Amino acid sequence: MRVVLAEDLFLLRDGLVRMLEAFGFEILAAVESGPELSKALAELEPDVAVVDVRLPPSHTDEGLQCALAARRARPGLPVLVLSQHVEQLYARELLADGNGGVGYLLKDRVFDAEQFIDAVRRVAAGGTAMDPQVISQLLSRRARDEPMGGLTPREREVMELMAQGRSNAAIAAQLVVTERAVAKHTSNIFAKLGLPVSDDDNRRVLAVLAYLDHG
């Protein structure tokens, strides 16, 4: 799997490169600035981009803006964003096109290599990998929105775990219920969000995107 990585801190960038390579990823480019990231994404066409939000020269939202521009040029380009803080506007903008293949992780809440690598793989496969704290802030802002407000508290819990990329089995274990109960909740969620019958993985992504980006 081919990766473009953008991180301005040398030690963190080098550490991410070594970790990704140890798990079999091919690093096409590891860059430290917005202009370098834009060039790498346009020329190398990676399978996934791992991008710090704040990059030189502006040190504001340079990394995310480059990633968003790349997704406009290549719809569905998988992007995993790394950030120090929850930036609601950034998360919403990343989710807005509805193409999937998006993730948003807080750096200080990634606790081991397996967690990070799993998130990269899920995003590269077109899924989602959202930090629970990001989800919580987005959901609290939209708790009264329709049709989102029609979801039950349990369905909202299931949605949160779906957004993290959890399988039905993992959700069942987390909520201490049966997989059959989780399947029923997900079916209800799809129906309430008006998602047509299709591939289940695709509907899970669409449900998460519709839920997090509903405005």
Q: What is the pLDDT at residue 128?
A: 83
What the block records as the tokens of 85 is 């803080």
Least confident of 4-13, 45-54, 144-153, 162-171: 144-153
Say what the pLDDT of residue 212 is: 60
Contact (CB, 8 A) for 3 and 82: no
CA 49, 17, 41 angle in degrees (round to 5)? 25
Lowest mean pLDDT among 10-14, 63-67, 163-167: 163-167
d(CA 67, CA 21): 22
* 158 contacts 189 by C-beta, under 8 angstroms: yes
Q: In this model, does residue 211 exceed pLDDT 80?
A: no
Tabulate helix, strand, coil % of the chain (nearest 5).
55, 15, 30
* 137-146 average pLDDT score: 54
Q: Which parts of 1-115 are beta strand (E)?
A: 2-6, 26-31, 48-52, 79-83, 102-106
The 10s digit of each residue's pLDDT in 182-199 is: 989 888 887 877 766 655
Mean pLDDT, rounded, for 89-111: 78
Q: What share of the chain has pLDDT > 70, as a percent?
A: 80
> Residue 27's beta-bridge partner residues?
3
pLDDT surpassing 60 at residue 117? yes
Q: In this model, does residue 202 exceed pLDDT 80? A: no
Say if CB 193 and CB 207 are below 8 A apart. Answer: yes
